[in-house]
Amino acid sequence: MKTYQIILTKSYTVIVNAKTKEQAKDIAEFYTGDIQDISTSKDRSKFNFSIEKIECKINESLE
Q: State the average pLDDT for the chain.
A: 86
Enumerate residues 6+ apart whose C-beta is below 8 A from 5.
63
SS3 content of the chain, % helix, strand, coil (to 5): 25, 40, 35
Q: What is residue 4's DSSP assignment?
A: -
Share of the chain above pLDDT 70, in %: 92
Dihedrals phi, psi of 61, to nearest 5 degrees: -95, 140
54 close to 12: Cβ distance less than 8 angstroms: yes
pLDDT of 33-45, one tens digit each? 777 899 999 999 9
The reported pLDDT for the residue numbered 61 is: 62
The reported pLDDT for the residue numbered 29 is: 87
Supply the pTM of this predicted model.
0.59
Confidence at 17, pLDDT banded by 50, 70, 90: very high
